[in-house]
Chain A
Amino acid sequence: AQKVTQAQTEISVVEKEDVTLDCVYETRDTTYYLFWYKQPPSGELVFLIRRNSFDEQNEISGRYSWNFQKSTSSFNFTITASQVVDSAVYFCALSEAGGSYIPTFGRGTSLIVHP
C-alpha cells in the first residue's frame, strides 16, 4: 500500500485562481513528519514545509497555506492567487520514526498555471 497518495496527477489552472493539492498519508507511527517539496523543470526538489505529527496547526506563508488534519490523514497544500512561476511538480512526503526518518514520496502532482 502506498504510504503517500497524491491522487491528482495533473492540475491545470489559470493565473490568479486558487488551487489545492491533496495529500493523504498512511502510517502506524505516532511520531512522523510530513513535507512538501516543489520540483521545477530544472529538476531540483525545493523544500517548502515540514510538519510534525504533534502539531496540527495550519500554516500560512505568503500565498501558500497548508492544512494538516490527522483525523483524515491529510496534509493539503493550497496556493492562493496562483502565478505562472508556480508551475511545477509538487511532492508530498512522509518520514516516520519507525523508518529512521527516511522520507517516502508520493507520485507528485503536476501543476500548470496558464497566463
Chain B
Amino acid sequence: DAGVTQSPTHLIKTRGQQVTLRCSPKSGHDTVSWYQQALGQGPQFIFQYYEEEERQRGNFPDRFSGHQFPNYSSELNVNALLLGDSALYLCASSLGATTNSPLHFGNGTRLTVT
C-alpha cells in the first residue's frame, strides 16, 4: 500500500524562477493538501484540492497555484520565486474534502531559493 510520494526530494532555484512540485496521494485517497513548512515552524496550509478543483486556500499569494489530475495526483506551482519561499513543502492526502480524517503526509520537497 503506497503512501504519499513527493518529487523531487530537493530542489535549488534562483530568485524569479518558477518551480513545480509533484505529489501522488496514498492509495484510496482523493483529496490533496499542500503545506509550507519554514525552518523551525509548523506547517502552514497553502491549499486543498478535491475533484480537480481548489476547495480551500490559505493565506498565500497568487504566485502559488496548483492542479489536481483525474488520478488524484497533484502539482504545486510557485512563480516568481522569492528567497522567503525557501522551505519544506509537504503534500498530504486524505479521504474526502471538509472532513476530519487524518492527513497522511509525504516526506516533502526541500526547496532552496538563492
Interface residues of A (CB under 8 A from B): 4, 33, 35, 37, 42-47, 50, 52, 91, 93, 95, 100-108
**Do residues B104 and A47 form an inter-chain contact, with CB atoms below 8 A?**
yes
**Do residues B42 and A105 form an inter-chain contact, with CB atoms below 8 A?**
yes
Minimal Cβ-Cβ distance residue in A for B92: A45
Contact of B45 among A43, A46, A52, A102 (CB under 8 A): A102
Contact of B107 among A42, A93, A95, A103 (CB under 8 A): A42
Stretch at the interface among B16-24, B67-75, B95-103: B95-103
**Do residues B48 and A44 form an inter-chain contact, with CB atoms below 8 A?**
no
Contact of A103 among B4, B45, B55, B97 (CB under 8 A): B45
**Does B32 reach chain A (CB closer than 8 Å)?**
no
**Do residues A100 and B100 form an inter-chain contact, with CB atoms below 8 A?**
no
**Do residues A108 and B42 form an inter-chain contact, with CB atoms below 8 A?**
yes
**Do residues B42 and A44 form an inter-chain contact, with CB atoms below 8 A?**
no
Q: Using a Cβ–Cβ cut-off of 8 Å, how many residues does chain B contribute to the interface with A?
A: 27
Q: How far is it, in angstroms, between the C-alpha of A46 and the C-alpha of B107 when the chains are bound? A: 10
Majority SS at the chain B contact face: loop
Majority SS at the chain A contact face: strand
Chain B positions 3 through 45: 1 when the CB is less than 8 Å from some CB of chain A, otherwise 0: 0100000000000000000000000000001000000111111
Neighbouring B residues of A100 by C-beta, 8 Å:
55-56, 97-98
Q: How far is it, in angstroms, between the C-alpha of A101 and the C-alpha of B43 when the chains are bound? A: 15
**Do residues A101 and B42 form an inter-chain contact, with CB atoms below 8 A?**
no
**Does B108 reach chain A (CB closer than 8 Å)?**
yes
For the complex with contacts A44-B106, A103-B103, 16 further pairs of A-B residues with Cβ separation under 8 Å are A43-B107, A43-B110, A44-B107, A45-B103, A45-B105, A46-B105, A50-B102, A95-B100, A100-B55, A100-B98, A101-B98, A102-B45, A102-B58, A107-B41, A108-B41, A108-B42
Q: How far is it, in angstroms, between the C-alpha of A46 and the C-alpha of B106 when the chains are bound? A: 9
